[in-house]
């Protein structure tokens, strides 16, 4: 992630056979990133389900990335269904935030 630029990636939720899942009905995607797993502060990443093919788009605006401190952050993307009774982690990992040099 580059500070001060738009950031986005796609994740595909798949079933146990490796096929894209239909997650458009009754599901909501959420994503956060934290400097440390135990951090109480976090950055909310926009996570939206885009169609019926298991695709989840995760993004943060240029204004949002400009406010994120550089360094390594941890993130995950979760899928909530059944009014939040079922929570499933789709993906997790690390994001390296690179400092912005050019500022307006």
Phi and psi angles of residue 16, each rounded to the nearest 5 degrees, phi first: -65, -15
Q: What is the pLDDT of residues 59-71, one digit of tens each?
A: 999 999 999 999 9
**What CATH number corresponds to the domain at position 17?**
2.60.40
Q: Compute the distance between CA of residue 12 and CA of residue 1 in angstroms, rounded to an integer.
A: 20
**What is the rounded average pLDDT of the residues 10-21?**
91
| In the chain, alpha helices (H) | 62-66
Flag whether 2 is in a domain. Answer: no
Which comes out higher in pLDDT, residue 82 or 57? 57
pLDDT at 9 over 90: yes
**What is the rounded average pLDDT of the residues 35-53?**
93
On average, the pLDDT of the chain sits at 92
pTM score = 0.89
Total of domains in the chain: 1
Flag whether 102 is in a domain. Answer: no
């Amino acid at each position: 992630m580059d500070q001060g630029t738009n950031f986005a990636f796609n994740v595909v939720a798949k079933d146990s056979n490796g096929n894209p899942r239909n997650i458009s009905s009754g599901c909501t995607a959420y994503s956060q990133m934290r400097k440390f797993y135990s951090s109480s502060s976090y950055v909310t990443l926009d996570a939206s389900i885009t169609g019926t093919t298991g695709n989840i788009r995760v993004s943060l605006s240029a204004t949002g990335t400009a406010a994120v401190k550089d360094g390594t952050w941890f993130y995950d993307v979760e899928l909530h269904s059944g009014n939040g009774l079922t929570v499933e982690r789709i993906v997790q990992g690390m994001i390296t935030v690179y400092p912005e040099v050019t500022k307006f």
